[in-house]
Amino acid sequence: MATLAELDSPLRSFMESIFELNSGKPDMDAIGRKLAAFAQDRDYLAHHMAKLPQDRFAGRDLAQTGPDVPTLLIVHRPEGVMSQVHSHNVWVALAPITGTETHRQFDVLERRDNGTADVKLHEERHLDADSADFVTMTPPNDVHEHGHVAGIGDAAYILVLTARPQVQFERQQYDLALGTWQTLKTGVMSLDR
């Protein structure tokens, strides 16, 4: 974990602006716009993208400066690979750097103690990097999946900004085909496909 002062200038300036927008009640639209604008700096982000493999799911921290402040990740899933349906339990914003990221948000109609759940699609969007698209979510309306759908643009590299490091919290993951859910324990990123 780096301190804010240890981050390079573009990243430090971006994170400082997010800290300001996160004080008090976070302005999610402004946070999303700021993230999408930062994602447009492909010259700066190119060396971060180059550190991720192209042929499999990968992600890494770009800015994690403390346990109680926003954190920024860069993530890539290859062609045709979607995440599991999951929650963050903190506010989250996503913006593509390159490509087209499919984002599906879900409504959890009922989640039962026996591990079953009724979940339905609320919205599907295709976030286009060239259009500076973004999405934001706040709990409890943060159940979603994202990644690449074959035939819809190129597989994306994305920025994921969360209110705090998400692995500090228990979160939920859903299997829509089985109609089940499970808890992701603290420290677990996801039980990805």
Q: Residue 109: pLDDT above 70?
A: yes
Q: What is the mean pLDDT of residues 28-48?
A: 96
Q: Which domains does the chain have, with CATH numbers?
A: 4-103+126-167 (2.60.120.10)
Q: Residue 127: pLDDT above 90?
A: yes
pLDDT for 3 equals 67
Q: Directed axis angle between helix 9-22 and helix 28-39, to 10°?
A: 170
Q: Residue 124: pLDDT above 80?
A: yes
Q: Residue 191: pLDDT above 60?
A: no
Q: What is the mean pLDDT of residues 23-29?
A: 91
Quote the CA–CA distance of 6 and 63 in Å, as a whole number. 10
For residue range 44-71, list pLDDT tens digits in order: 999 999 999 988 998 888 887 777 889 9
pLDDT for 186 equals 80
Quote the CA–CA distance of 38 and 33 in Å, as a whole number. 9
DSSP lists the bridge partners of residue 73 as 61, 160
